[in-house]
């Protein structure tokens, strides 16, 4: 599955990469728009799937845990009519 960003998120990510490189790396010349865009594409293709797959696995584990607890959370005891204190019998 190819991970895509919407245009606004992509612009923000590229600006963030440019800023990071400018402030944290001794790049001369600075990475620029093209370099940041290429780096983002690399991250999305190479590294993002690892994070995505882990997020899916975490969500799946959480859902399985919640599903396993479902019977305890919503269980209704049957045949309680005659056990009610307002009933004779």
Q: What is the DSSP string of 5-74?
A: --HHHHHHHHHHHHHHHHHHS--SS--HHHHHHHHHHHHHHHTHHHHHHHHHHHHHHHHHHHHHHHHHHH
Q: Is 64 a member of any domain?
A: yes
The pLDDT score that the predictor gives to residue 62 is 96
Find the domain containing 50 and state its range: 7-74
Q: Is 53 a member of any domain?
A: yes
Number of domains in the chain: 1
Q: Is 80 a member of any domain?
A: no
The pLDDT score that the predictor gives to residue 48 is 96
- In order along the chain (89 residues), what is the average pLDDT of each group of 10 residues? 93 96 85 95 96 97 93 88 77
Predicted structure pTM score: 0.70
Q: Is 44 a member of any domain?
A: yes
Q: Is 84 a member of any domain?
A: no
């Amino acid at each position: 599955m190819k991970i895509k960003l919407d245009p606004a998120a992509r612009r923000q990510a590229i600006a963030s990469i440019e800023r990071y490189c400018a402030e944290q790396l001794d790049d001369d010349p600075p990475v620029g728009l093209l370099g940041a865009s290429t780096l983002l594409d690399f991250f999305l293709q190479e590294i993002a799937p690892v994070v995505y797959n882990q997020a899916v696995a975490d969500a799946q584990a959480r859902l399985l845990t919640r599903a396993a607890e479902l019977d305890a959370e919503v269980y209704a005891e049957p045949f309680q009519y005659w056990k009610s204190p307002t009933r004779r019998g």
